């Protein structure tokens, strides 16, 4: 085997890589979803780590597929969609599972102006039916006057900010997108693993010591008893006219 035929991974390691990449993908998706939903700048730094992971993971398929770039670009498209769905789906799952429906009253509002879109992202302080301030702030682009009532879902743990109840009814679109993206990403990983394993199996180490050019010779230095040389005339023979 020459230098260009060396494999990037050892044969039989593809299954380990597939399992590891899928586990890292699921973990990064959950961390990104939780980190982006928390109302804290520190958690945005935590969420930045899985974003980098989603960008880097597809290109690790280059080694898994033994130098092919096609699976990496396919996986990159699905990784972008999967990362985008993480901003909505994990937090919505949590709020829908353990959240408490509350009829809240809008209090103070803070406008975070976006010069690019020309719109405000409002942060609303909400109070419950008993007059206590709800933990976290509702962030919405819609404008609600002070004193208006909103149906929201609150986190009993006080970790996530309140969500509009109507928003939880439309998350199935993001859930379907996340499922399709994860299936496509996993499929690209499996295809890369199969292609790479075929290439690795096609260059077994047992053939590494065999000559790549010329005819094979036997142990005595001959050619298996066959005469392959060109028959020549004796040097002293004259050409017959």
How far apart CA 137 and CA 122 sit, in angstroms, is: 9
How far apart CA 173 and CA 181 sit, in angstroms, is: 12
168 — pLDDT class (breaks 50, 70, 90):
confident
Query: What integer is the mean pLDDT of 4-20?
Result: 69
Give the three-class secondary structure for 93: helix
Summarize pLDDT for 219-234 with one digit per residue, the tens: 444 444 445 444 555 5
79 — pLDDT class (breaks 50, 70, 90):
very high
pLDDT over 60 at 7, yes or no: yes
How far apart CA 124 and CA 106 sit, in angstroms, is: 7
For the chain, helix (H) and strand (E) counts, in that order, are 6, 5
Question: Can you give the pTM of this predicted structure?
Answer: 0.62
Tokens of 53: 């992971």
Summarize pLDDT for 170-226 with one digit per residue, the tens: 777 888 989 999 999 999 999 988 888 887 777 544 334 444 444 444 444 444 444
5 — pLDDT class (breaks 50, 70, 90):
low
How far apart CA 122 and CA 112 sit, in angstroms, is: 6
pLDDT over 80 at 141, yes or no: yes
Nearest to 134 by CA among 112, 107, 169, 174: 107
pLDDT averaged over every residue in the chain: 77
Nearest to 53 by CA among 17, 13, 23: 23
40 — pLDDT class (breaks 50, 70, 90):
low
pLDDT over 80 at 6, yes or no: no
CB atoms closer than 10 angstroms to residue 236: 5
Query: What integer is the mean pLDDT of 74-99?
Result: 87
pLDDT over 90 at 155, yes or no: no
Contact (Cβ atoms closer than 8 angstroms) between residue 20 and residue 64: no
pLDDT at residue 241, rounded to an integer:
45
Q: Which residue has the higher pLDDT, 128 or 202?
A: 128
């Amino acid at each position: 085997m020459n230098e260009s035929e060396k494999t990037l991974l050892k044969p039989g390691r593809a299954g380990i890589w597939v399992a590891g990449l899928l586990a890292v993908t699921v973990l990064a998706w959950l961390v990104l979803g939780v980190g982006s939903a928390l109302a804290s700048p520190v958690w945005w730094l935590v969420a930045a780590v899985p974003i980098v992971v989603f960008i880097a993971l597809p290109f690790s398929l280059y080694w898994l597929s033994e130098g092919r770039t096609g699976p990496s670009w396919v996986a990159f498209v699905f990784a972008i969609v999967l990362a985008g769905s993480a901003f909505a789906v994990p937090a919505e799952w949590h709020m829908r599972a353990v959240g408490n429906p509350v009829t809240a009253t809008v209090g103070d509002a803070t406008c975070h102006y976006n010069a690019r879109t020309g719109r405000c992202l409002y942060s609303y302080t909400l109070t419950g039916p008993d007059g206590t301030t709800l933990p976290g702030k509702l962030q919405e682009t819609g404008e609600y006057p002070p004193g208006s009532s909103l149906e929201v879902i609150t986190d009993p743990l006080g970790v996530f900010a309140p969500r509009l109840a109507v928003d939880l009814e439309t998350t199935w679109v993001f859930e379907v997108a996340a499922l399709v993206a994860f299936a496509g990403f996993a499929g690209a990983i499996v295809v890369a693993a199969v292609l790479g394993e075929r290439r690795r199996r096609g260059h077994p180490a047992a053939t590494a010591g065999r000559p790549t050019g010329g005819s094979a010779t036997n142990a005595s230095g001959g050619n298996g008893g066959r005469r392959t040389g060109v028959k020549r005339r004796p040097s002293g023979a004259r050409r017959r006219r």
